[in-house]
Amino acid sequence: MGIVQRVWRRVPGVLAAMGVLFLLWALLSFPDLVKNSVRQSVLYCLTVLVPSLFPFMALSQLIVLSSAGDVLGAPLAPLARWVFRLPGCCAAPILMSFLGGYPAGARSVSLLLEQGRITRQQASRMMLFCVGPGTAFVVTYLGGSVLGSYRAGWLLFFSVTLAGLIMGAATSFWDRVPPKGHVPVKKEGGAVIRSVSGAAHSVLIMCACIVSFAGLSALLHATGAYQAAVQLWARLGPLTPPETAAALSFLLEVTGGVGDAAQFRVGPELYAFGLAFGGLCVHMQVFAMFRDFPLKKRWFFLSRFAHGLLAAGIFRLLGVWLPGGALETLGPVAERQVQALSGTAAGGLSLLLLCAAFLLVAGRDEPA
């Protein structure tokens, strides 16, 4: 038994080493494909992610680090207490988690936990549902630019958001209602500077994750691993090969999933699932927002799957109930999407460089 246990303990390390060697071989064998994929990913970060998400990240952190969150969240505090069984200070972060984009809610929750305003158990429960794609990505980018339909964007956003709210209420049902009142914010000063610094750090991490997963996706396609997985899953599962290909892309990275789903003209319910699930790239970004992630990873992944399935079901119901019926298959990615993005590459690069410079300057002022 001792030998079996020692061998079993070495299995994760052996598998990790095999994966690293495979990626090293693939990287040396297909350098041009990786370079082109990374270039496109960097362009996306500069034109879409940085200009649109950085302001939301800074604002969400300012809400938590200052007393503004208590004032702005006061009207929604009873909803946070009685529906989600969370302190009133969580109302504004919950709202920002659905409006500001995937990591915005995670960063707000981590700040509340660091301040001692919520318990670790409350933080873990918030991470079951405070993960949403945000209006800028779903409505403006996906709906307006990729699909050419703001109606589709709003329907997808409402489906994902409603699914998250339902999950939050369902996972909180057996918890006690927290007492009225709140833990005051510890006044440390410099809330604006700390908000901008934290947002800069978060945006740089997100860009690094997206670029890394773009290179990984290119390697999986170049080596045939992605195609083999699509064929295997299509034989075992209920999805067609195009739907399987889009679903696998969504599981890996949501932006690539959006592109493949539009190219393969899959059903709109798959968009709702992919947006709610977020993809492993988003999951890595969420984990990076915490010093020690409060929720077990397997429960987080299961909650993402449940969120995706619930969002897809809600979207289907909305298509039946609302005037106009269900949306049919959506068109391919339009060429105009590059021109319709949130900014220019030069502007995004300037903001990204300012983020890096700000972190360097702010780091010098911190005590040793």
What is the per-residue pLDDT across 141-174, written as a single tens digit (0 to 9) for each?
888 888 888 888 999 999 999 999 999 999 988 8
Q: How many other C-beta atoms are found inside a 10 Å radius of the C-beta of residue 350?
A: 15
pLDDT of residue 368: 36
Q: What is the mean pLDDT of the chain?
A: 81
pLDDT of residue 181: 65
**Picking from 32-41, 62-71, 104-113, 192-201, which range would have the lowest pLDDT averaged per residue?**
62-71
Instruction: Indicate the SS3 state at residue 87.
Output: coil
**Tell me: the pLDDT tens digits for 14-59?**
777 887 888 788 888 888 888 898 888 888 888 877 887 788 788 8
Instruction: Identify the band that residue 290 occupies on the pLDDT scale cut at 50, 70 and 90.
Output: very high
The answer, yes or no, to whether residue 91 has pLDDT greater than 70, is yes
pLDDT of residue 89: 86
**Tell me: the pLDDT tens digits for 341-363?**
344 554 444 445 545 544 454 44
pLDDT of residue 293: 94
The answer, yes or no, to whether residue 67 has pLDDT greater than 80, is no
Instruction: Identify the band that residue 187 occupies on the pLDDT scale cut at 50, 70 and 90.
Output: low
Is residue 104 within 8 Å of 60, Cβ to Cβ?
yes
pLDDT of residue 307: 96
The model carries a pTM of: 0.80
Is residue 59 within 8 Å of 111, Cβ to Cβ?
no
**Picking from 288-292, 319-323, 333-337, which range would have the lowest pLDDT averaged per residue?**
333-337
**Is residue 55 within a helix (H) or strand (E), and if so which, with residue range?**
helix 50-65
